[in-house]
Structure 1
Amino acid sequence: MTDFSTYSPGLHALCRFEQIAAEKLTQLDAFHGFTQDLCADLGLEIVGASSFVFENQSYTASYCLKESHICVHTWPEFQLLTLDVYLCNFLQDNSDKVRAVVEKYRTFFAAHEVSISEVYR
């Protein structure tokens, strides 16, 4: 039986990336391709996805994962995005995977300023 007094359901990273080239913030297809490859490389299973492109070509995208979720919202007019990554710890501690996902997105977007809050749930 699981000892729930010491069990951590997962790590939730809430990120703000700034000083990003506008083209990275308006290319939803590139983001989708990168996310699909990233999930495959890290053994994360996408069970659903939804996205929307706004008039200025900014986008919001959400991936429902077997392990939880990845969400992004872009603002090319301000050269920033917010990223939300949560992976639960059902069979293993996925904290390192959360950090790897965040770092790979930071590299993909070539963000110069990064603010990350980690919340253990």
Structure 2
Amino acid sequence: MQGLHLTADLTHCQCENTWLTDAARLLDRCAQEVVQAGLQPVNQLAHSFPATAQGPGGVTATVLLAESHLCVHTWPEQKGVTVDVYVCNFGADHSAKAQQLMDALVALFAPQQALRQALQRGVQAPV
């Protein structure tokens, strides 16, 4: 159960607005980036939220991984995004792959500000 959990809170994103509002397009890109990072997708799901008086609705895109998960939430009316990447390191260390995936998604959204955090989860088994 030992693994790396990465989060990013992205603000003032300068990307094309469709990355914040088009669930199918975002999910497809997430799945591509997962494979590019060398991780194994096992399922995926996206959801679009309705527009509000503040602007277009955001989206949630999730890719379930053999190693754990990727989840992206967007707030187009605020030009904000949160990204969550968690990889279990059972059998192999997937930390570099998780970092590569996170780096690719942060670059996609082109935020003016990014608060990135990393948490080591679980306990390393004794050797």
State the TM bucket, normalised to the shorter chain: 0.7 to 0.9
Matched, 1:69 2:78: no
Q: Which amino acid aligns with 1:12?
A: H
Matched, 1:43 2:38: yes
Q: Secondary structure, in 3 states, of the residue corresponding to 2:13?
A: coil
Matched, 1:26 2:21: yes
Unaligned 5+ residue runs, structure 2? 52-56, 122-127
TM-score (ref. length: structure 1): 0.86
Matched, 1:102 2:97: no
- Structure 1 stretches of 4+ moved >3 Å: none
Give aligned-pair identity as a percent: 31
Unaligned 5+ residue runs, structure 1? 1-7
Give the C-alpha shift of residue 44 in structure 1: 1.4
TM-score (ref. length: structure 2): 0.82
> In 2, distance between residues paired with 1:107 and 1:27?
18
CA RMSD of aligned residues (A): 1.5
Aligned pair count reads: 114
Give the C-alpha shift of residue 43 in structure 1: 2.1
Q: Which amino acid aligns with 2:31?
A: Q
